[in-house]
Amino acid sequence: MKKKNLFINIGSLIGISDGYPKRPLKGAEMNRIDKLDNAFLYVAGDTIVDYGDMNDLGNISEIYNNYDNIYDVKNQFVIPGFIDSHTHIVFASWREEEFIMKLQGCSYEEIAKKGGGILNSAKKVQLASEDELFYTALMRVNEVTNYGTVALEIKSGYGLSLESELKMLRVIKKLKEYTKLPIKSTFLGAHAIPMEYKDNRNAYIDLIISKMIPDIANQGLAEYVDVFCDEGFFTLEETENILNAAVKFGLRPRIHVSEMSNNGGVQLGIAHNAITVDHLERIEDEEISALLLSKTLPTVLPQVSFFLKIPFAPARKMIDAGLPLVIASDYNPGTSPSGNLQFAISLATIYQKLTPIEALNAITYNAAHALEYENQLGSIQRGKKASFLILNSNVKNLDFIPYHFGSNKVEKVIINGEIR
Ligand code: NIG
Ligand code: FE
Protein backbone atom coordinates (compact mmCIF):
# COMPACT_ATOMS: atom_id res chain seq x y z
CA MET A 1 0.00 0.00 0.00
CA LYS A 2 1.27 3.43 -0.91
CA LYS A 3 1.53 5.75 2.08
CA LYS A 4 -0.77 8.75 1.85
CA ASN A 5 0.99 11.85 3.10
CA LEU A 6 -0.70 15.20 3.36
CA PHE A 7 1.28 18.44 3.71
CA ILE A 8 -0.90 21.21 5.11
CA ASN A 9 -0.58 24.94 5.79
CA ILE A 10 1.96 25.57 3.03
CA GLY A 11 2.62 29.34 3.08
CA SER A 12 3.19 29.31 -0.67
CA LEU A 13 3.37 26.32 -3.01
CA ILE A 14 5.72 27.54 -5.70
CA GLY A 15 6.50 26.29 -9.21
CA ILE A 16 3.13 24.80 -10.18
CA SER A 17 3.59 24.03 -13.86
CA ASP A 18 0.11 23.09 -15.15
CA GLY A 19 0.01 26.29 -17.19
CA TYR A 20 3.62 26.22 -18.40
CA PRO A 21 4.63 25.26 -21.95
CA LYS A 22 5.67 21.59 -22.23
CA ARG A 23 9.25 22.56 -23.06
CA PRO A 24 11.93 24.59 -21.31
CA LEU A 25 10.94 28.13 -20.39
CA LYS A 26 12.65 30.65 -22.64
CA GLY A 27 13.09 34.40 -22.97
CA ALA A 28 10.52 36.36 -20.96
CA GLU A 29 8.81 33.11 -19.88
CA MET A 30 11.79 32.44 -17.64
CA ASN A 31 10.49 35.07 -15.25
CA ARG A 32 7.19 33.25 -14.79
CA ILE A 33 6.48 31.33 -11.61
CA ASP A 34 3.00 30.02 -10.81
CA LYS A 35 2.11 29.51 -7.16
CA LEU A 36 -0.69 28.98 -4.70
CA ASP A 37 -0.68 30.57 -1.26
CA ASN A 38 -2.14 28.80 1.79
CA ALA A 39 -2.01 25.43 0.09
CA PHE A 40 -2.04 21.70 0.76
CA LEU A 41 -0.10 19.03 -1.13
CA TYR A 42 -1.16 15.39 -1.20
CA VAL A 43 1.49 12.75 -1.90
CA ALA A 44 0.85 9.02 -2.31
CA GLY A 45 4.00 6.91 -2.25
CA ASP A 46 6.51 8.75 -4.38
CA THR A 47 4.02 10.77 -6.45
CA ILE A 48 2.20 14.09 -6.19
CA VAL A 49 -1.51 13.28 -6.38
CA ASP A 50 -3.11 16.61 -5.70
CA TYR A 51 -2.68 20.10 -4.37
CA GLY A 52 -5.05 22.92 -3.67
CA ASP A 53 -6.25 25.69 -1.42
CA MET A 54 -6.37 24.86 2.30
CA ASN A 55 -9.93 26.20 2.36
CA ASP A 56 -10.98 23.43 -0.03
CA LEU A 57 -9.55 20.63 2.04
CA GLY A 58 -12.75 20.02 4.00
CA ASN A 59 -13.45 18.81 7.47
CA ILE A 60 -10.27 18.22 9.47
CA SER A 61 -11.51 15.15 11.37
CA GLU A 62 -12.35 13.42 8.10
CA ILE A 63 -8.96 14.39 6.80
CA TYR A 64 -7.22 12.69 9.68
CA ASN A 65 -8.97 9.41 8.84
CA ASN A 66 -8.02 9.56 5.19
CA TYR A 67 -4.24 9.95 5.40
CA ASP A 68 -1.39 8.01 6.96
CA ASN A 69 0.58 11.11 7.92
CA ILE A 70 -0.16 14.80 8.10
CA TYR A 71 2.70 17.30 8.10
CA ASP A 72 2.06 20.84 9.20
CA VAL A 73 4.33 23.05 7.06
CA LYS A 74 3.52 26.01 9.36
CA ASN A 75 3.20 28.59 6.64
CA GLN A 76 6.66 27.95 5.21
CA PHE A 77 7.37 27.88 1.47
CA VAL A 78 7.51 24.76 -0.69
CA ILE A 79 9.48 24.80 -3.96
CA PRO A 80 10.47 22.08 -6.46
CA GLY A 81 13.75 20.31 -5.64
CA PHE A 82 16.87 21.47 -7.48
CA ILE A 83 18.33 19.48 -10.35
CA ASP A 84 22.07 19.66 -10.93
CA SER A 85 22.63 18.82 -14.60
CA HIS A 86 26.46 19.08 -14.60
CA THR A 87 28.71 17.60 -11.91
CA HIS A 88 32.01 15.75 -11.53
CA ILE A 89 31.12 14.56 -8.03
CA VAL A 90 33.15 11.32 -8.20
CA PHE A 91 36.80 12.14 -7.47
CA ALA A 92 39.52 10.81 -5.20
CA SER A 93 40.73 13.95 -3.49
CA TRP A 94 40.44 17.70 -3.29
CA ARG A 95 43.02 20.01 -4.90
CA GLU A 96 43.41 22.85 -2.42
CA GLU A 97 47.15 23.02 -3.21
CA GLU A 98 46.20 24.26 -6.68
CA PHE A 99 43.88 26.80 -5.10
CA ILE A 100 46.90 28.30 -3.36
CA MET A 101 48.81 28.34 -6.69
CA LYS A 102 45.85 30.17 -8.16
CA LEU A 103 45.86 32.72 -5.33
CA GLN A 104 49.51 33.31 -6.12
CA GLY A 105 48.61 34.20 -9.68
CA CYS A 106 48.81 30.92 -11.64
CA SER A 107 46.02 30.46 -14.20
CA TYR A 108 43.99 27.25 -14.65
CA GLU A 109 45.84 26.61 -17.93
CA GLU A 110 49.26 27.09 -16.28
CA ILE A 111 48.39 24.72 -13.45
CA ALA A 112 47.24 22.13 -16.00
CA LYS A 113 50.52 22.49 -17.91
CA LYS A 114 52.45 21.75 -14.71
CA GLY A 115 50.68 18.38 -14.38
CA GLY A 116 48.01 19.75 -12.07
CA GLY A 117 44.37 19.98 -12.93
CA ILE A 118 42.53 17.07 -14.48
CA LEU A 119 45.71 14.93 -14.78
CA ASN A 120 46.35 15.38 -11.08
CA SER A 121 42.83 14.10 -10.32
CA ALA A 122 43.28 11.24 -12.81
CA LYS A 123 46.42 10.00 -11.07
CA LYS A 124 44.54 9.85 -7.78
CA VAL A 125 41.46 8.15 -9.23
CA GLN A 126 43.65 5.50 -10.86
CA LEU A 127 45.15 4.69 -7.44
CA ALA A 128 41.85 4.79 -5.51
CA SER A 129 39.72 1.71 -4.87
CA GLU A 130 36.18 1.55 -6.14
CA ASP A 131 34.87 1.51 -2.55
CA GLU A 132 36.86 4.58 -1.60
CA LEU A 133 35.53 6.47 -4.62
CA PHE A 134 32.01 5.34 -3.81
CA TYR A 135 32.02 6.41 -0.15
CA THR A 136 33.60 9.82 -0.76
CA ALA A 137 31.16 10.52 -3.60
CA LEU A 138 28.26 9.33 -1.47
CA MET A 139 29.21 11.85 1.21
CA ARG A 140 29.17 14.62 -1.39
CA VAL A 141 25.83 13.47 -2.75
CA ASN A 142 24.41 13.57 0.78
CA GLU A 143 25.92 17.02 1.23
CA VAL A 144 24.23 18.42 -1.89
CA THR A 145 20.86 16.86 -1.08
CA ASN A 146 20.96 18.83 2.17
CA TYR A 147 21.27 21.96 0.03
CA GLY A 148 18.21 20.97 -1.99
CA THR A 149 19.52 18.89 -4.92
CA VAL A 150 17.09 16.03 -5.63
CA ALA A 151 18.53 14.74 -8.93
CA LEU A 152 21.86 15.06 -10.68
CA GLU A 153 24.13 14.23 -13.56
CA ILE A 154 27.58 12.81 -12.84
CA LYS A 155 30.47 12.57 -15.29
CA SER A 156 33.40 10.21 -15.50
CA GLY A 157 36.57 11.82 -16.87
CA TYR A 158 39.07 11.48 -14.05
CA GLY A 159 39.92 7.92 -15.09
CA LEU A 160 41.48 8.53 -18.51
CA SER A 161 42.18 4.82 -19.02
CA LEU A 162 39.70 2.12 -19.95
CA GLU A 163 39.94 0.50 -16.56
CA SER A 164 39.62 3.71 -14.54
CA GLU A 165 36.84 5.20 -16.66
CA LEU A 166 34.88 1.96 -16.17
CA LYS A 167 35.63 2.15 -12.44
CA MET A 168 34.21 5.68 -12.21
CA LEU A 169 31.12 4.72 -14.18
CA ARG A 170 30.52 1.70 -11.95
CA VAL A 171 30.73 4.01 -8.94
CA ILE A 172 28.08 6.26 -10.51
CA LYS A 173 25.89 3.20 -11.13
CA LYS A 174 26.30 2.16 -7.50
CA LEU A 175 25.35 5.67 -6.37
CA LYS A 176 22.14 5.38 -8.41
CA GLU A 177 21.28 2.03 -6.86
CA TYR A 178 22.25 2.87 -3.30
CA THR A 179 20.81 6.40 -2.99
CA LYS A 180 17.72 5.72 -5.18
CA LEU A 181 18.20 9.28 -6.44
CA PRO A 182 17.52 10.03 -10.09
CA ILE A 183 21.09 10.17 -11.44
CA LYS A 184 22.20 10.34 -15.08
CA SER A 185 25.65 9.19 -16.05
CA THR A 186 27.95 10.78 -18.65
CA PHE A 187 31.10 9.31 -20.19
CA LEU A 188 33.81 11.99 -20.31
CA GLY A 189 36.86 10.00 -21.38
CA ALA A 190 37.80 13.02 -23.50
CA HIS A 191 38.42 15.26 -20.51
CA ALA A 192 42.19 15.59 -21.03
CA ILE A 193 44.95 13.79 -22.92
CA PRO A 194 46.66 11.47 -20.38
CA MET A 195 50.37 12.07 -19.76
CA GLU A 196 51.41 8.79 -21.40
CA TYR A 197 49.69 9.86 -24.65
CA LYS A 198 51.17 13.38 -24.62
CA ASP A 199 53.09 12.77 -27.83
CA ASN A 200 50.50 10.54 -29.41
CA ARG A 201 47.11 12.06 -28.81
CA ASN A 202 45.55 10.23 -31.75
CA ALA A 203 46.19 6.93 -30.02
CA TYR A 204 44.18 8.08 -27.00
CA ILE A 205 41.34 9.31 -29.19
CA ASP A 206 41.41 5.95 -30.96
CA LEU A 207 41.17 4.19 -27.61
CA ILE A 208 38.12 6.28 -26.72
CA ILE A 209 36.46 5.59 -30.05
CA SER A 210 37.26 1.96 -30.64
CA LYS A 211 37.36 0.57 -27.12
CA MET A 212 35.95 2.81 -24.39
CA ILE A 213 32.71 3.90 -26.08
CA PRO A 214 31.70 0.39 -27.25
CA ASP A 215 32.53 -1.20 -23.87
CA ILE A 216 30.72 1.46 -21.87
CA ALA A 217 27.68 1.39 -24.12
CA ASN A 218 27.53 -2.41 -24.11
CA GLN A 219 27.64 -2.45 -20.32
CA GLY A 220 24.94 0.24 -20.14
CA LEU A 221 27.17 2.42 -17.98
CA ALA A 222 26.39 5.82 -19.50
CA GLU A 223 23.46 7.74 -20.94
CA TYR A 224 25.45 10.62 -22.41
CA VAL A 225 28.86 11.48 -23.83
CA ASP A 226 30.85 14.62 -23.06
CA VAL A 227 34.05 16.13 -24.49
CA PHE A 228 36.10 19.02 -23.10
CA CYS A 229 36.16 20.82 -26.45
CA ASP A 230 38.37 23.77 -25.67
CA GLU A 231 41.79 25.29 -26.18
CA GLY A 232 44.48 23.04 -24.73
CA PHE A 233 42.12 20.06 -24.48
CA PHE A 234 40.25 18.59 -27.49
CA THR A 235 40.00 20.20 -30.92
CA LEU A 236 36.82 20.59 -32.92
CA GLU A 237 37.85 17.78 -35.23
CA GLU A 238 38.69 15.41 -32.39
CA THR A 239 35.42 16.27 -30.67
CA GLU A 240 33.50 15.61 -33.85
CA ASN A 241 35.07 12.17 -34.29
CA ILE A 242 34.28 11.22 -30.70
CA LEU A 243 30.69 12.45 -30.88
CA ASN A 244 30.09 10.61 -34.15
CA ALA A 245 31.28 7.38 -32.57
CA ALA A 246 29.28 7.88 -29.38
CA VAL A 247 26.05 8.74 -31.15
CA LYS A 248 26.23 5.42 -33.01
CA PHE A 249 26.11 3.72 -29.61
CA GLY A 250 23.13 5.76 -28.44
CA LEU A 251 25.08 8.20 -26.25
CA ARG A 252 23.69 11.68 -26.74
CA PRO A 253 26.20 14.55 -26.41
CA ARG A 254 26.35 17.18 -23.69
CA ILE A 255 29.64 18.99 -24.07
CA HIS A 256 32.03 21.43 -22.38
CA VAL A 257 32.53 24.43 -24.71
CA SER A 258 33.83 28.00 -24.76
CA GLU A 259 35.27 28.08 -21.25
CA MET A 260 38.83 29.06 -22.29
CA SER A 261 38.18 30.21 -25.86
CA ASN A 262 35.31 30.62 -28.30
CA ASN A 263 36.21 27.93 -30.79
CA GLY A 264 32.99 26.94 -32.55
CA GLY A 265 32.18 24.20 -30.04
CA VAL A 266 28.65 25.52 -29.58
CA GLN A 267 27.88 25.10 -33.29
CA LEU A 268 29.49 21.67 -33.29
CA GLY A 269 27.33 20.59 -30.34
CA ILE A 270 24.20 21.84 -32.09
CA ALA A 271 25.15 20.00 -35.30
CA HIS A 272 25.41 16.77 -33.28
CA ASN A 273 22.06 17.28 -31.58
CA ALA A 274 23.67 17.84 -28.18
CA ILE A 275 21.11 17.95 -25.42
CA THR A 276 23.13 20.73 -23.76
CA VAL A 277 26.23 22.84 -24.33
CA ASP A 278 27.82 23.83 -21.04
CA HIS A 279 30.08 26.63 -19.75
CA LEU A 280 29.71 29.27 -22.53
CA GLU A 281 31.77 31.91 -20.71
CA ARG A 282 33.29 33.15 -23.98
CA ILE A 283 30.36 32.91 -26.40
CA GLU A 284 29.36 35.80 -28.61
CA ASP A 285 26.33 36.92 -30.62
CA GLU A 286 26.96 34.30 -33.30
CA GLU A 287 26.61 31.47 -30.78
CA ILE A 288 23.43 33.01 -29.34
CA SER A 289 21.95 33.13 -32.86
CA ALA A 290 22.93 29.51 -33.51
CA LEU A 291 21.36 28.39 -30.22
CA LEU A 292 18.15 30.24 -31.06
CA LEU A 293 17.74 28.03 -34.13
CA SER A 294 18.31 24.81 -32.20
CA LYS A 295 16.85 22.64 -29.44
CA THR A 296 20.20 22.40 -27.63
CA LEU A 297 19.92 23.83 -24.13
CA PRO A 298 22.58 26.34 -23.03
CA THR A 299 23.88 25.66 -19.53
CA VAL A 300 25.90 28.16 -17.52
CA LEU A 301 28.10 27.42 -14.52
CA PRO A 302 28.52 30.67 -12.56
CA GLN A 303 30.53 29.05 -9.75
CA VAL A 304 33.36 28.37 -12.22
CA SER A 305 33.58 32.05 -13.20
CA PHE A 306 33.56 33.05 -9.54
CA PHE A 307 36.21 30.53 -8.56
CA LEU A 308 38.55 30.94 -11.57
CA LYS A 309 37.91 34.68 -11.89
CA ILE A 310 37.06 34.31 -15.58
CA PRO A 311 34.19 36.15 -17.32
CA PHE A 312 30.64 35.03 -16.52
CA ALA A 313 28.63 33.60 -19.41
CA PRO A 314 26.37 36.30 -20.93
CA ALA A 315 23.24 34.81 -19.39
CA ARG A 316 21.21 38.06 -19.35
CA LYS A 317 21.88 38.60 -23.02
CA MET A 318 20.93 35.00 -23.77
CA ILE A 319 17.56 35.24 -22.04
CA ASP A 320 16.86 38.67 -23.56
CA ALA A 321 17.54 37.15 -26.98
CA GLY A 322 14.82 34.59 -26.25
CA LEU A 323 16.86 31.56 -25.17
CA PRO A 324 16.07 29.08 -22.43
CA LEU A 325 18.75 28.81 -19.75
CA VAL A 326 19.95 26.11 -17.37
CA ILE A 327 22.25 26.70 -14.38
CA ALA A 328 24.35 23.91 -12.86
CA SER A 329 27.07 23.67 -10.21
CA ASP A 330 29.90 21.88 -12.10
CA TYR A 331 30.85 20.47 -8.67
CA ASN A 332 34.49 19.34 -9.11
CA PRO A 333 37.79 19.72 -7.23
CA GLY A 334 39.47 22.01 -9.79
CA THR A 335 37.08 24.71 -10.93
CA SER A 336 34.02 24.55 -8.66
CA PRO A 337 34.60 22.90 -5.30
CA SER A 338 30.97 23.38 -4.23
CA GLY A 339 27.71 21.74 -5.23
CA ASN A 340 25.52 24.27 -3.44
CA LEU A 341 23.05 25.43 -6.09
CA GLN A 342 21.74 28.11 -3.74
CA PHE A 343 25.12 29.79 -4.09
CA ALA A 344 25.04 29.30 -7.88
CA ILE A 345 21.78 31.25 -8.08
CA SER A 346 23.16 34.02 -5.85
CA LEU A 347 25.99 34.40 -8.36
CA ALA A 348 23.59 34.26 -11.32
CA THR A 349 21.53 37.10 -9.88
CA ILE A 350 24.45 39.25 -8.71
CA TYR A 351 26.91 38.77 -11.59
CA GLN A 352 24.73 37.64 -14.48
CA LYS A 353 21.79 39.95 -13.74
CA LEU A 354 19.16 37.23 -13.65
CA THR A 355 16.06 37.74 -11.54
CA PRO A 356 15.65 35.33 -8.62
CA ILE A 357 12.73 33.69 -10.48
CA GLU A 358 14.75 33.20 -13.68
CA ALA A 359 17.55 31.64 -11.67
CA LEU A 360 15.15 29.34 -9.84
CA ASN A 361 13.56 28.18 -13.10
CA ALA A 362 17.06 27.55 -14.49
CA ILE A 363 17.80 25.00 -11.71
CA THR A 364 14.34 23.43 -11.59
CA TYR A 365 11.98 23.39 -14.57
CA ASN A 366 14.63 23.91 -17.26
CA ALA A 367 17.23 21.72 -15.55
CA ALA A 368 14.72 18.84 -15.55
CA HIS A 369 14.59 19.12 -19.35
CA ALA A 370 18.40 19.15 -19.48
CA LEU A 371 18.42 15.69 -17.87
CA GLU A 372 15.29 14.40 -19.67
CA TYR A 373 13.47 14.24 -16.35
CA GLU A 374 10.81 16.75 -17.44
CA ASN A 375 7.97 14.25 -16.98
CA GLN A 376 9.04 13.44 -13.43
CA LEU A 377 10.77 16.43 -11.90
CA GLY A 378 11.35 20.18 -11.97
CA SER A 379 7.96 21.48 -10.86
CA ILE A 380 4.87 20.85 -8.76
CA GLN A 381 2.42 18.94 -10.91
CA ARG A 382 -0.02 16.06 -10.36
CA GLY A 383 1.68 12.82 -11.45
CA LYS A 384 5.22 14.13 -11.06
CA LYS A 385 7.56 12.76 -8.40
CA ALA A 386 7.18 14.22 -4.93
CA SER A 387 10.68 15.75 -4.85
CA PHE A 388 10.39 19.15 -3.24
CA LEU A 389 11.87 21.39 -0.57
CA ILE A 390 10.38 22.97 2.53
CA LEU A 391 12.27 26.23 3.00
CA ASN A 392 13.06 27.60 6.44
CA SER A 393 10.88 30.17 8.12
CA ASN A 394 13.19 33.09 7.20
CA VAL A 395 12.09 32.78 3.59
CA LYS A 396 9.07 35.04 3.06
CA ASN A 397 9.64 35.63 -0.65
CA LEU A 398 11.81 34.16 -3.42
CA ASP A 399 14.19 37.13 -3.48
CA PHE A 400 15.46 35.99 -0.11
CA ILE A 401 17.00 32.80 -1.54
CA PRO A 402 19.81 34.40 -3.61
CA TYR A 403 19.99 37.39 -1.24
CA HIS A 404 20.87 35.46 1.92
CA PHE A 405 23.89 33.86 0.26
CA GLY A 406 26.09 31.33 1.97
CA SER A 407 23.44 29.99 4.32
CA ASN A 408 21.21 26.99 3.75
CA LYS A 409 17.61 28.07 3.24
CA VAL A 410 16.37 24.48 2.90
CA GLU A 411 14.82 23.05 6.06
CA LYS A 412 13.54 19.72 4.74
CA VAL A 413 14.18 17.80 1.56
CA ILE A 414 11.56 15.38 0.25
CA ILE A 415 12.80 13.04 -2.46
CA ASN A 416 10.43 10.64 -4.19
CA GLY A 417 7.97 11.12 -1.33
CA GLU A 418 10.53 10.33 1.33
CA ILE A 419 11.38 12.98 3.91
CA ARG A 420 15.17 13.12 4.33
O1 NIG B 1 33.94 21.61 -15.90
N2 NIG B 1 36.24 22.19 -17.82
C3 NIG B 1 36.51 21.00 -17.69
N4 NIG B 1 36.29 20.21 -16.66
C5 NIG B 1 35.95 20.68 -15.37
C6 NIG B 1 37.17 20.94 -14.57
C7 NIG B 1 37.78 19.73 -14.11
C8 NIG B 1 38.95 19.90 -13.22
O9 NIG B 1 39.66 20.91 -13.22
O10 NIG B 1 39.16 18.94 -12.51
C11 NIG B 1 35.05 21.85 -15.50
O12 NIG B 1 35.38 23.00 -15.20
FE1 FE C 1 32.46 20.39 -15.97
Per-residue pLDDT tens for 339-358?
999 999 999 999 999 999 99
Same domain, 53 and 27: yes
Q: Are residues 178 and 316 in the same domain?
A: yes
Cα–Cα distance list, 351 to 26, 169, 313, 346, 399 (Å): 20, 34, 10, 8, 15
- Does one domain contain both 10 and 94? no
The one-character DSSP state at 371 is T
How far apart CA 47 and CA 29 sit, in angstroms, is 27
The parts of the chain modelled with pLDDT lower than 70 are 60-61
User: C-alpha distances in angstroms, 44 versus 2, 70, 86, 292, 355?
Assistant: 6, 12, 30, 40, 34
Q: Phi and psi (nearest 5°) for 225? A: -120, 145
What range defines the domain where residue 346 resides?
Answer: 82-370
For 144, phi then psi, to 5°, come to -75, -30
The per-residue pLDDT for 52 is 96
pLDDT of residue 42: 96
Indicate the pTM of the whole model.
0.97
Calculate how far, in angstroms, residue 215's C-alpha sits from the geometric centre of ligand 2: 23
Among residues 353, 370, 387, the one where a domain terminates is 370
59 CA distance to ligand 1 middle (Å): 55
- Regarding the beta carbon of 343 and ligand 1, being less than 6 Å apart is answered no
How remote is the CA of residue 88 from the centroid of ligand 2, in Å? 6
Domain count, the chain: 2
| CATH code, 103 | 3.20.20.140
pLDDT at 109: 83
- Ligand 1 atom with the smallest distance to the CA of 278 is 1
Q: Does the beta carbon of 352 lie inside 6 Å of ligand 1?
A: no
Q: Using one digit for the tens of pLDDT, what is the confidence trace for 102-135?
A: 999 998 888 988 889 999 999 999 999 999 999 9
Note whether 276 and 413 are same-domain residues: no
What pLDDT does 61 receive? 64
For the Cβ of 116 lying below 6 angstroms from any atom of ligand 1, the answer is no
Claim to verify: residue 159 and residue 228 sit in the same structural domain: yes
* Residue 268 and residue 130 share a domain: yes
Find the 68 Cα to ligand 2 centroid distance in Å. 43
Ligand 1 site, residue 33, Cβ cutoff 6 A: no
Sign of the CA dihedral with 118 first, then 120, 121, and 126 last: positive
**What's the pLDDT score for residue 113?**
81
Do residue 197 and residue 293 come from a single domain?
yes
CA of 278 to the centre of ligand 2 (A): 8
Q: Among residues 112, 181, 203, 228, which one has the least CA distance to residue 385?
A: 181
Looking at residue 60, what is its pLDDT?
A: 65
Residues 222 and 319 reside in one and the same domain: yes
Q: Where are the beta strands (DSSP E) in 191-312?
A: 224-229, 252-257, 276-279, 297-300
Q: 291 with 345, same domain?
A: yes
**Given the DSSP bridges, would you call strands 47-53 and 35-44 parallel, antiparallel or unpaired?**
antiparallel
Q: 44: domain CATH number?
A: 2.30.40.10
Query: For residue 157, which phi and psi values (nearest 5 degrees)?
Result: 115, -5
Last residue of a domain, one of 334, 351, 370: 370
202 plus 273 within the same structural domain: yes
Mutate-to-test residue for ligand 1 from 335, 336, 338, highest number of ligand atoms within 8 A of CB: 335
Cα–Cα distance, 369 to 20 (Å, whole number):
13
d(CA 258, CA 9): 46
Expressed in angstroms, the distance from the first to the final Cα of the chain is 21
Claim to verify: residue 100 and residue 188 sit in the same structural domain: yes
Domain's final residue, options 350, 370, 390: 370
Q: Are residues 88 and 184 in the same domain?
A: yes
- Whole-number Cα distances in Å, 23 to 17, 234, 282: 11, 32, 26
Question: Which residue's CA is the nearest one to ligand 1's atom 1?
Answer: 330
